[in-house]
Amino acid sequence: MGETLGALPVAEADARLVEAGVQAGPVLHVDEVLAHPAVHLVEIAHPILGTVRAPGPSLRIETTRTTHGPPPALGADVEEVLAEAGFDPAERAALAEAGAFGGGERPAPTSRSPETNSDIG
């Protein structure tokens, strides 16, 4: 099968597989994915990288966010995540002192403001 399909252009191989009832689709290169009509790109103001373009939600409904913020910096949400996981302040402090967060120091909490970001596509 690999020899037969490998000799065909991608579009033709894909069409033949679909026609035969095989759930298939081409594997796209990153630039092809970003150019695909189903991919909705958004601009995100990243505190270190500046403005970056990233895929946003392709399926948009009434409740889909139209602004997107950057992910938190490495370790910036440790306190929040551990608190949500049920760790009390003493347990979180013990983990920090044991070096679980890189050197025993807790990163300063940060706030994310998605209002500075916009859809671009």
For 9-66, what is each residue's pLDDT tens digit? 988 998 999 999 998 888 889 888 888 888 888 888 888 889 988 888 777 777 766 6
pLDDT at 4 over 50: yes
pLDDT value of residue 101: 83
Statement: the pTM of the whole predicted model exceeds 0.85? no
* pLDDT value at residue 118: 44
Within a 13 Å sphere around the CA of 86, how many CA atoms are in the beta-carbon half? 0
Query: What are the sequence ranges of the domains in the chain?
Result: 1-27
- Residue whose pair of structure tokens reads 């596509």 in the numeric block: 121
- pLDDT at site 57: 75
Residues 41, 34: Cα–Cα separation, whole Å: 8
The helix (H) or strand (E) run that includes residue 44 is: strand 40-46
Q: What is the model's pLDDT at position 109? A: 52
Q: How far apart are CA 43 and CA 116, in angstroms?
A: 10
- Backbone phi, psi, residue 84, to 5°: -65, -30
Per-residue pLDDT reduced to its tens digit, 31-41:
888 888 888 88
